[in-house]
Amino acid sequence: MLTKRIIPCLDVKDGKVVKGTSFVQLKYAGDPVALARKYSEEGADELVFLDITASYEKRKIMIDVVRKVAEQVFIPFAVGGGIRTIEDIRALLNAGADKVSINTAAVENPSLVRKAAETFGSQCIMVAIDAKKSASGWEVFVRGGREPAGMDALAWAKEAERIGAGEILLTSMDKDGTKEGYDIELTRSMAEIVNIPIIASGGAGSLETIARVLREGKADAALAASIFHYGKYSIAQVKRYLKGDGIEIRI
């Protein structure tokens, strides 16, 4: 049986990991490569790097980070943040990223997803969806959650699958940062209508919240940032708990 995946997410700005000031961070001094290696050794199934570098010129630093991670870390990893063109994607994949995650550009220019899937294969194209509860369901937001896209999240997920997305990284904006649990209803609703894996994000808190999104939310993978960065739980601890709870997990 295919296992459920546990995916730590690292926010990277100007080549340094940001978010998290705990002892874990201090020890690794914000070094994405060292932190990636540590998570891999602890049993992370995959990694996601989110490049939050503001200036376009400094984006090249990320390519360098990707190259170093690829040389030293032997689990799959995705890179997202600010990807706009086929050339952006090619540069990241050539540097050694296994997948890219496309958010705003996918909404504004769906043909990018189609072209990327045709060129590089669906398996390396992840569409990231930031969704927020609305009166009628969940609405898609873009530009780091600042602007409503005027689209229904479930409809967009189906469309993303149709145009070639290989996976969906689904973030609940309502739950993000709350630590009170993932949006189970949103995740399950999406998992039931698409036939590609859903990576749930936003709201990871207690160990039980992760078990719930994998079981009741039917997510294929759970992504979390702060619970790992601040050392609340280690990856190994999370995975042992989930396995003990009867969820198919790689230990």
- Find the part of the chain contacting other proteins (CB under 8 A) among 66-74, 83-91, 107-115, 132-140: 66-74
Structure tokens at 57: 């010129």
Residue 116: count of CB within 10 angstroms of its CB: 29
Interacting residue with other proteins among 76, 137, 145, 231 (CB under 8 A)? 76
Q: Which residues between 24 and 43 bind other proteins (CB under 8 A)?
A: 40-41
Where do runs of H (alpha helix) occur along 144-199?
A: 153-162, 184-193
The stretch near other proteins (CB under 8 A) out of 146-154, 175-183, 192-200, 236-244 is 192-200
148 scored as a contact of other proteins (CB under 8 A): no
Q: Does 130 participate in catalysis according to the annotation? A: yes
Rank residues 39 and 182 by Cβ distance to other proteins and give the closer one.
Answer: 39
Which of these ranges, 2-10, 101-109, 131-139, 150-158, lies near other proteins under the rule CB under 8 A? Answer: 2-10
User: Minimal distance in Å, beta carbon 119 to other proteins?
Assistant: 10
Give the span between the Cα atoms of 94 and 72, in whole angstroms.
16
Site for other proteins contains 162 (CB under 8 A): no
**What number of chain residues touch other proteins (CB under 8 A)?**
29
In the complex, minimum distance from the CB of residue 124 to other proteins, in angstroms, rounded to a whole number: 8
Which amino acid type is present at position 232?
Answer: K
Angle among Cα 196, 162, 130 to the nearest 5 degrees reads 65
Residue carrying the six token digits 């390396």: 124
- Angstrom CA distances, 108 to 96, 149, 159, 172, stand at 26, 9, 13, 20
Helix or strand (DSSP H, E) at 169? strand 167-172
Residue 217 CB, shortest distance to other proteins, in Å, is 15
How do 16-18 and 5-13 pair as beta strands?
antiparallel
Determine the Cα–Cα distance for residues 132 and 94; give it in Å rounded to an integer: 34
Give, in degrees to the nearest 5, the angle at Cα 108 between 146 and 143.
20
Let me know: does 6 contact 251? Beta carbons within 8 Å.
Answer: no
Q: How far is the CB of 70 from other proteins (least distance, A)?
A: 6
Tell me: does residue 130 bind other proteins (CB under 8 A): no
Q: Which is nearer to other proteins, 151 or 194 (CB)?
A: 194
Round to whole Å and give the CA distance between 171 and 203.
9
Query: Looking at 45, 51, 130, 176, which residue is catalytic?
Result: 130
Q: Which of 13, 28, 33, 45 binds other proteins (CB under 8 A)?
A: 45
User: Which residue from 21, 22, 85, 123 is in contact with other proteins, where contact means CB under 8 A?
Assistant: 123
d(CA 172, CA 78): 19
Annotated active-site residue 183? The verdict is no
Pick 10 or 117: Cβ nearer other proteins: 117
> Looking at the annotation, which residues are catalytic?
11, 130
